[in-house]
Amino acid sequence: MAQRQFFDEMSGLGGQSQTQGQGQRQAQQQGQARPPYRRIAEWLRQTPEEQLANKRREAEALYRRHGITFGAYGSADGHETTIPFDLIPRVLTQEEWRFLERGLIQRTRALNAFLNDAYHQRDICRAGKMPENQILLNEQFVGLAQGLTLPGDVHAHIAGIDLVRVSADEFYVLEDNVRTPSGVSYMLENREVMMRLFPDLFQRHSVLPVGRYTEELLNMLRAVSFNGDREPTVILLTPGQYNSAYFEHAFLADEMGIELVEGSDLFVDDCRVYMRTTRGPKRVDVIYRRVDDAYLDPLAFNPESLLGVAGLVAAVRAGQVNVVNALGNGIADDKSTYLYVPDMVRFYLGEEPILKNVPTWRCDKSDDLKYVLEHLGELVVKEIHGSGGKGMLVGPTSTKAEIEEFRGLLRDRPANYIAQPTLALSTCPTLVERGVAPRHVDLRPFVLSGKETVVMPGGLTRVALKDGSLVVNSSQGGGTKDTWVLGA
């Protein structure tokens, strides 16, 4: 693998940006940090390694005590694992954040406009900006949702937009998540833990708070009820404790003070949804569901599903309950639709996209496929409907055999894949076995859309803990960091 240059968030070194000028190279020689990281660098220099190690153990204990676990929640032996948490925060300046925030809100508004259009007239196709089959033949398109008009025309109430940074002023959107994006509980808990462990660091910085997220979330959920005449009852529907994100479901329900329910706690009567309580049936107005479309209603989708509620789709279509996020959102965030998002921004908002897409080759186009097959060793190949870092090839870090395997897959089902250049994801100093070393990071901010569209300042920074790895997914051994947006 060729030696690559990566932009380091703290030192400002590497990357290909024009702004990487003389001054920064000098900074390297003097061991200086970029302004937003200056105090962090100072703190790292002053803090003995064993103290950091102690704090790390303390953090781990806190996570266990709070029951913050991932994946193996319901594992047979009752033991659970936590996602590794890194103590060194990832810092964004106010200016950087302003830019990202505008871009995120713009992108989410466009995605919402697209989803509403996709399930109504499909004007974007009529205007020639997108082939209609991209929507109609998309595996994720839900025919039953055609013509469904939702409160505020919002479909993607909660969006997690994955961003990567490659230089001081270049960010790319890696993917949009508008089905049931997860990870926000880590954003909140990471901040809690950091504030407990390093109160002095917070005194030395002005960090914008993220703790209001659950309140904003609840406000949004209440605002999207169909039943405006009633004080809305909001619940969170989980697939149950065997789901890898169960902790997050319990955490969010707890924080919002709403019931955490499973499908069997609910029933539909007269096209209205009720939950079974010790006081009798209680009507439900808004369901924050963390169950996938296919399992949501055995009468409408997978008839074998035990996770959903029979008649739920009828209740939604009869305008008696709203489901968040909406049905059929998968058409907006799969990797083939991704290509069209900049056009969505232009078409629906009449604006130029603020955030850029990563250049992408579609393997169903023969020219693109040819290029991809010739350059497999340099590219990242992704399954169109894949998620969680699975079904993906990172050319530069893969073996010959892995590359050849993908060559076969691509030839068999080219339409299933897209390819992108291997991005030089920025690095951020991270506590590793021996001292501090740069590790690749991405960023997932969370965007809420109800009456208006808001973003919490920050998000979840995911970090690839393996040296050189570009895969940050927690299911693939990634960790998380607290993400700071500095105040003015």
Partner 1 sequence: MRFDVQHVTRFRFEEACGYSIHQCRLRPRLGESQRLLSWEVRTPGRGRDWTDGYGNHVRTFSLTEPHREIELVARGVFEWIEGGQDYLVFAAPEALPPGYWLRNHGLARHEASIQTFVADLADRAGDEKERVPLLHVLMRRLVEGLEYRVGATTVDATAAEALASGAGVCQDFAHLFVACSRVLGVPARYASGCLSQKGATHVGRVGHAWAEAFVPDLGWIGFDPANGICATGEYLKLGIGLDYAEAAPVTGRRIGGGQAAMEVDVQVRQVG
Partner 2 sequence: MLSSTAKNLYWMARYIQRAENTARVLEATNRMALLSNSDREWRSVPLIYGLDADFAERHPSPTMRDMLHYLTIDEANPSSVASCFRAARNNARDERNNLTIDLWESLNGTWLELQGMMRGIGDGIDFRQFLDWTKKQAVMATGAAQSTLLRDDAYNFVMLGLQVERADNTARILDVKYHILLPKGERVGGSLDYYQWAEVLSCIGAYRTYRRVYSSKIEPWRVAELMILRHDLPRSLLFCLGQVDRNLGELAELYGARGEATRLAGKLYSKLRYARIDTIFQDGLHEYLSDFIRGNARLSEEISRQFLMG
What does the binding site for partner 2 look like in residue numbers (CB under 8 A)? Answer: 65, 67, 74, 77-78, 241, 250, 253-254, 259-262, 264-265, 275-281
For residues 384 and 159, give the distance between their C-alpha atoms in angstroms, rounded to a whole number. 18
Smallest separation (angstroms) from partner 1 to the CB of 345: 25
**Touching partner 1, residues 93-152 (CB under 8 A):** 122, 132-133, 136-137, 141-148
SS3 sequence of 47-87: CCHHHHHHHHHHHHHHHHHCCCCECCCCCCCCCCECCCEEE
Q: Considering only the stretches 58-66, 110-118, 254-262, 263-271, report the one whose residues sit in contact with partner 1 under the rule CB under 8 A.
A: 263-271
With CB under 8 A as the contact rule, the residue among 299, 339, 349, 354 that binds partner 1 is 299
The three-state secondary structure class of 262 is coil
Partner whose footprint covers residue 325, from partner 2, partner 1, none (CB < 5 to 8 Å by kind): none
- Whether the CB-CB separation of 457 and 469 falls below 8 Å is answered with no
* Length reported for the chain: 488
Strands annotated E in 68-181: 85-92, 158-167, 170-177
- Whether the CB-CB separation of 8 and 428 falls below 8 Å is answered with yes
Partner whose footprint covers residue 350, from partner 1, partner 2, none (CB < 5 to 8 Å by kind): none
DSSP state letter for 326: P
Q: What is the DSSP string of 402-428?
A: HHHHHHHHHHH-GGGEEEEE-----EE
DSSP state letter for 486: B
With CB under 8 A as the contact rule, the residue among 31, 303, 350, 408 that binds partner 1 is 303
Residue placing its CB nearer to partner 2 in the complex, 275 or 312? 275
Smallest separation (angstroms) from partner 2 to the CB of 454: 27
Phi-psi region of 447 (alpha: psi -120 to 50; beta: other; left: phi over 0): beta
DSSP state letter for 459: -
Residue placing its CB nearer to partner 2 in the complex, 285 or 334? 285
Judged by CB under 8 A, how many residues of this single chain contact partner 1?
28
Partner whose footprint covers residue 434, from partner 1, partner 2, none (CB < 5 to 8 Å by kind): none
Structure tokens at 5: 């240059």
Contact call for residue 280 and partner 1 (CB under 8 A): no
Residue placing its CB nearer to partner 1 in the complex, 88 or 142? 142
Smallest separation (angstroms) from partner 2 to the CB of 324: 20
Q: Considering only the stretches 22-30, 47-55, 224-232, 265-273, report the one whose residues sit in contact with partner 1 under the rule CB under 8 A.
A: 265-273
With CB under 8 A as the contact rule, the residue among 310, 354, 394, 409 that binds partner 1 is 310
Backbone angles phi, psi at 67, to 5 degrees: 70, 30
CA-CA-CA-CA torsion sign (132, 137, 139, 140): positive
What is the identity of the amino acid at 38?
Answer: R
Residue placing its CB nearer to partner 2 in the complex, 72 or 394? 72
Residue placing its CB nearer to partner 2 in the complex, 63 or 97? 63
The three-state secondary structure class of 433 is coil
Partner whose footprint covers residue 262, from partner 1, partner 2, none (CB < 5 to 8 Å by kind): partner 2
Residue numbers of the site for partner 1 (CB under 8 A)?
122, 132-133, 136-137, 141-148, 267-271, 298-299, 303, 310-311, 314-315, 317-318, 320
